[in-house]
């Protein structure tokens, strides 16, 4: 890669952008439509912010649960999916920044050596 630092910089920037989008545009996983409808039905009369939270899988599972074990499994599954996606996004962001800095360093060394 010492001969092509521009490729390293471009790859780093693309990975950093992809990681940033995954990390910051993500969020809690959405619940299925049946769970959303049950949650909103159960929370009738609550404010709009509380009804909006019914879109989140973990919250909808907690509000519609009839069994504590099933609710715990559903909430854990939703949280695991959120953490996994965020971890991949942060990894891509960090690797992209490192590749970009490495490419800039390699290009400056190449210019200084020429």
Q: What is the pTM of this model?
A: 0.64
pLDDT at 86 over 80: yes
Query: Structurally, how many domains does the chain consist of?
Result: 1
Residue 53 dihedral angles phi and psi, to the nearest 5°: -70, -15
In percent, how much of the chain has pLDDT > 70?
93
What's the DSSP call for residue 92?
H
Give residue 86's domain range.
5-113
Q: Are 26 and 89 in contact (CB under 8 A)?
A: yes
pLDDT at 52 over 90: no
> Can you list the alpha helix ranges (DSSP code H) found in 1-114?
5-25, 33-42, 48-52, 57-64, 68-113
């Amino acid at each position: 890669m010492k001969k092509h630092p521009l490729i390293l910089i471009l790859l780093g920037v693309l990975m950093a952008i992809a990681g940033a989008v995954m990390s910051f545009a993500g969020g809690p996983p959405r619940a299925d439509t049946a769970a959303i409808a049950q949650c909103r039905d159960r929370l009738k009369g609550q404010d709009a912010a509380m009804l909006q939270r019914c879109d989140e899988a973990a919250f909808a599972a907690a509000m519609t649960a009839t069994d504590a074990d099933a609710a715990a499994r559903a909430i854990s599954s939703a949280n695991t999916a959120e953490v996994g996606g965020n971890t991949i996004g942060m990894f891509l962001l960090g690797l992209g920044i490192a590749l970009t800095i490495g490419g800039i360093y390699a290009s400056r060394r190449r210019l200084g050596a020429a």
